[in-house]
Chain A
Amino acid sequence: MIIGVWVLWLIALFIWSLLIGGIDRKIVAHLQGRYGPPFWQDITDFLKLFRKRGKTATRSSSIVSDVALIVGIIAVVVGLSILPMPTVGGYTQLLSTSGDLIILAYVFALLAIVYVLIGFGGKSPYTMVGASREVSMLLSYEIPFILVIVAMGYRAILLTGLPVSTIFSIAGFLVLKQKMALLLLDPIFLGSFLVLLILGPAIVGAVPFDIPEAETEIVDGYGAEMHGPRLGVLFGIKHMKLLLYAYFLWTIFLSPVTSNIWLNIIMTLLGTLLMVLVIYTVPRAVSGRFRVEQGAKFYLLGPGLASIVLLLLSLI
């Protein structure tokens, strides 16, 4: 029963991720004084890609990109099975372990590695450069990301009094959310939230940190050799990664807990949209692209130092 509901939720979230992509394009268009595409544009784009038939470059390895895409789909499914789904009486996880927050961190890293694999599978100079840029971005944002997650875990067990073995469990955060009205009232969680917001554009590959894609310099980077249905799957994975990160921020930090299932569903959908606006749409509308060393320096010096301070404070 719960698996059936969860599959429906997964499909709904996938359609929502495509709609969010269209809404984002519409909002950016309005910010620039244009009409922009219809808000279902990304659904049309996604479906169209499955009707295209092209030739794969002889040097590209389709096996590597196919494996990478399958890993990407699995990573998205695992991520969504861990994040709490709105149900009657609150939020429930389909799969819950004592270390699911770490699994979630792995999911984001794995999705970045999927892009790297696709880039190396493409075997063109552009895809290779895209892949190596993705690796350098991964190294610069992953350190603050993990440190912040550790700081959050320590703080959660301190505040809930749960055993140390549950330090990285999302269930612990759900308990905490019932105790505290708003997690952001706590300075450590507020700091962690802000660091995660700043890390957002790099994790989801948004401007100004869409350095691995950079379509004007390296013709779309790692995905340059993808076409047709494979590009469609990659397009879907990118949308789901954005949704997954927005969903993670919303459910851990902000989502209010109510017992009405419909209210929970609507708030989750609107909450993810709000997070996407903050981490994706606004940066994309107001800034240009950074160079790779600027991006790496920014993350290591800004969120990197902030995450070390947060970790030390959470241990005190």
Chain B
Amino acid sequence: MDILKPEKSLWIYHLNTGSCNGCDIEILAALTPKYDAERFGVKLVGSPRHADIVVATGPVTAVAKESVLRVIDQVPDPKAIVVVGVCGITGGVFRGGYSVAGPLDTLVPVDVYVFGCPPKPEGIMVGILKAAEVLELKRKGNYHKEVVKISEHGETI
């Protein structure tokens, strides 16, 4: 029954690890009335302790690294991490920069990658829904680490 399924309640925490703000704008666009993420039970929360899914953007700068790790550690289990934008996936244009300590998956396990610079809100929505599937697998105990890759338009790659 949907009403009892925890994956129908997705509280997301938006974590900026040092992005150019392009991906962040698209994440907020995905939560606006036009895309209506709330119909899937998605709610943006202010505190990582309330979250189920962390939506991270940016290449993880050296100054942000400690805070990012602390914030992700504060999210209760089961949790899923979605990286939005190529910066978070590979470091993007910032890769190899003196101030970059990422990408994120070298620091913490990431479940879903949403490609694009920045991705479209559709891609971010699909990424969040894929993260819900990951949460369900984790809850049922048959989660095998498989990387889910989503294109900027929302297709699975």
Please tell me if A161 contacts chain B, counting CB pairs below 8 Å.
no
Binds B, one of A43-51, A137-145, A241-249: A43-51
A33 touches B33 (CB 8 A): yes
Count contacts on A: residues with CB < 8 A to the other chain. Answer: 35
Interface residues of A, dominant DSSP: loop
A220 touches B46 (CB 8 A): yes
B4 touches A224 (CB 8 A): no
Binds B, one of A52-60, A78-86, A104-112, A199-207: A52-60
Which residues from chain A contact B46 at a C-beta distance below 8 Å?
A: 215-216, 218-220, 224
* Nearest-neighbor residue (CB-CB) of A54 within chain B: B76
* Nearest-neighbor residue (CB-CB) of B5 within chain A: A44
* Nearest-neighbor residue (CB-CB) of B42 within chain A: A37
A45 touches B49 (CB 8 A): no
Q: Mark A100-120, 1 if CB is under 8 A from B, else 0.
A: 000000000000000000000
Please tell me if A14 contacts chain B, counting CB pairs below 8 Å.
no
Which residues from chain A contact B2 at a C-beta distance below 8 Å?
A: 38, 44
Given the interface pairs A37-B41, A215-B45, A224-B49, the reply to whether A51 lies near B3 with Cβ below 8 Å is no
Docked complex Cα distance between A218 and B75 (Å)? 17
* Nearest-neighbor residue (CB-CB) of A43 within chain B: B3
Name B's A-contacting residues (CB within 8 A): 2-6, 8-9, 11, 33, 36, 38-41, 43-47, 49-50, 52, 73-78, 139
Docked complex Cα distance between A206 and B111 (Å)? 35
* Nearest-neighbor residue (CB-CB) of B10 within chain A: A48
Which residues from chain B contact A29 at a C-beta distance below 8 Å?
A: 33, 36, 38-39
Docked complex Cα distance between A224 and B11 (Å)? 14
A34 touches B39 (CB 8 A): yes
Interchain nearest-CB distance for B12 vs A (Å) = 12
